[in-house]
């Protein structure tokens, strides 16, 4: 796979993750999605940056599901959203 193909795949995946977060916000499910967006906006993150952080959490949660060969862990996902701007790996978002 060429470097351009990898970048295209990554951009496609990022766009789908952002779309999933936007769908969660529109549906109000899980409730932690809107609460997290509100919190991040309140502490000074731009909406786009907040959505990107939330998409990173979703990607982390999906990767965990695949690695563990287990169902999606919604409670852990919601807790990881609530922990933002601390990312699931323990690092602080910049």
What's the structural domain count of the chain?
1
When the pLDDT of each residue in the chain is averaged and rounded to a whole number, the result is: 92
Residue 1 has pLDDT above 60, yes or no: no
Mean local confidence (pLDDT), 44-50:
97
The domain containing residue 46 runs over which residues? 3-83
Number of H helices, E strands in the chain: 4, 0
CA distance 60 to 10: 14
Q: What pLDDT is stored for residue 5 in this prediction?
A: 67
Mean local confidence (pLDDT), 26-38:
96
pTM above 0.85, yes or no: yes
CA proximity to 91, closest of 61, 53, 65? 53
Answer whether residue 30 is part of any domain: yes
């Amino acid at each position: 796979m060429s470097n351009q193909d990898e970048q295209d795949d990554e951009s496609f995946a990022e766009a789908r993750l952002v779309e999933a977060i936007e769908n969660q916000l529109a549906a109000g499910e899980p409730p932690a999605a809107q609460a997290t967006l509100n919190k991040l906006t309140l502490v000074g993150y731009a909406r786009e940056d907040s959505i990107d952080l939330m998409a990173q959490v979703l990607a982390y949660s999906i990767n965990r599901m695949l690695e563990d060969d287990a169902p999606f862990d919604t409670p852990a996902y919601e807790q990881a959203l609530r922990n933002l701007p601390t990312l699931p790996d323990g690092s602080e978002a910049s």
